[in-house]
Amino acid sequence: MHIPVLATEIIEALAIEPGKIYVDGTTGGAGHSKMILEGKPEHLYSFDQDKEVIDRLEATKDWSLVHSNFKNIWSYGKENNVKINGGILLDLGLSSIQLDDPNRGFSFKYESDLDMRMDQGLEFSAKDIVNQYNEKDLADIIYRYGEERKSRQIAAAIIKYRPFDTSNKLADLIKIIYARGSNGKTFRIHPATRTYQALRIEVNKELEVLEEFLELDFDVLESGAVLAIISFHSLEDRIVKNAFKKYVSECKLELLCKKPIIAKEEEISQNPRSRSAKLRLARVL
């Protein structure tokens, strides 16, 4: 079941009004999009780079579905004469549609192809990375994008035991590396979690895409439009924080919250995924 993260806070921040244009840049299960539509906006444009996501939904006269990465919002706006005066939402987390699909390779719960492409049109998959990158590049990616302290050990083991074709096979190897020095201790999160995060970020160029989006186009964004961005790890949050800070110094944005908004305990108990979510808000001046 798809549960939109920080839904109440998002709807309050966007303050949906008739006559205004909104964009959901990361549609996923469409939970946020459907809540925005309940506010009766003039139009909502919902983007997703995953064609499976778009194909599950049905557009209406006030809801356009766009199969494209959110970095293309600005070019789409210019090409289609769309002026965004309501707001843009980005939920940078992995969609439950992708996570729960055993064929996509995002989860180490399944014996599935080691894929991790959000856009199936991408040529390079996680399998290509683990089977083709050299040891130094693997270690650097796992450390930088996964903040994994055992990155060098994991990279060395990948080189030694590759090729890897399935998602759970790689996860099992990483679990063995952690078990060696654990003295029988259990792990709060699966030992492969950070490595899988790193591989997913590398496959989908997630940080580069976010940075490209944050080259905001104020010919498309109109005064009063709200930017609402939910991140799930420190690398993304830092990029958003620094970009907002830059635009505030240039008098192009105003912050709507000094610190990121986090989920309340009630939401976390219902949706554990929301535990690591951080929402930053800014308004176009």
Residue-level pLDDT at 109: 73
CATH of the domain at 33: 3.40.50.150
111 compared with 137, residue with greater pLDDT: 137
pLDDT at 1 over 80: no
Using 50, 70 and 90 to split pLDDT, how confident is the model at 97?
low
* Structural domain boundaries enclosing 241: 7-97+207-284
Residues 19 and 88 in one domain: yes
Assess whether 112 and 173 both reside in one domain.
yes
- Quick one: average pLDDT of 198-222? 97
Q: Is residue 1 part of a domain?
A: no
For residues 193-220, give the mean pLDDT: 96
| pLDDT > 90? residue 141 | yes
pLDDT bracket for residue 111 (50, 70, 90): confident
pTM, rounded to two decimals: 0.92
Min mean pLDDT across 100-109, 215-224, 248-257, 263-272 is at: 100-109
Whether 44 and 126 share a structural domain: no
Least reliable range by pLDDT among 3-17, 156-170, 175-189: 175-189
Residue 2 lies in a domain: no
* Percent above pLDDT 90 for the chain: 73
Same domain, yes or no: 183 and 274: no
Q: What is the mean pLDDT of the chain?
A: 92
- Does a structural domain hold residue 197? yes
- Convert the pLDDT of each residue in 23-47 to its tens digit: 999 998 899 999 999 999 999 999 9
Which residue's structure tokens are 């709807």?
Answer: 11
Three-state helix/strand/coil letters over the chain: CCCCCCHHHHHHHHCCCCCCEEEECCCCCCHHHHHHHHCCCCEEEEEECCHHHHHCCCCECCEEEEECCHHHHHHHHHHCCCCECCEEEEECCCCHHHHCCCCCCCCCCCCCECCCCCCCCCCCCHHHHHHHCCHHHHHHHHHHHHCCCCHHHHHHHHHHHCCCCEHHHHHHHHHHHHHHCCCCCCCCCCCCHHHHHHHHHHHHCHHHHHHHHCCCCCCCECCCCEEEEEECCHHHHHHHHHHHHHHHHCCCEEECCCCCECCCHHHHHHCHHHHHCEEEEEEEC
Q: Does residue 108 sit in the same domain as residue 191?
A: yes
CATH number at residue 201: 1.10.150.170
- β-strand partners of 186: none
| 135 and 61 within one domain | no
pLDDT score recorded for residue 180 = 79
Question: Which has more pLDDT, 72 or 108?
Answer: 72
State the total domains in the chain: 2
Q: What is the pLDDT of residue 189?
A: 80
Are residues 62 and 40 located together in one domain of the fold? yes
Mean pLDDT of 58-85: 97
Query: In this structure, are 47 and 87 located in the same domain?
Result: yes
Confidence of residue 244 (pLDDT cuts 50, 70, 90): very high
Does the pLDDT of residue 232 top 60, yes or no?
yes
Query: What's the pLDDT score for residue 186?
Result: 67
- Residue 221 neighbours by CB under 8 Å, 6+ apart: 84, 88, 284
Q: Are residues 43 and 112 in the same domain?
A: no
Looking at residue 205, its pLDDT comes to: 95
Q: Are residues 155 and 124 in the same domain?
A: yes
How sure is the predictor about 183, in pLDDT bands with cuts at 50, 70 and 90? low
Give the whole-angstrom CA distance, residue 126 versus residue 189: 21
- Per-residue confidence at 226, pLDDT binned at 50, 70, 90? very high
User: For residue 134, with 0-12 CB atoms within 10 Å meaning exposed, 13-18 middle and 19 or more buried, which class applies?
Assistant: exposed
Tokens matching residue 266: 């009630």
Residues 92 and 211 in one domain: yes
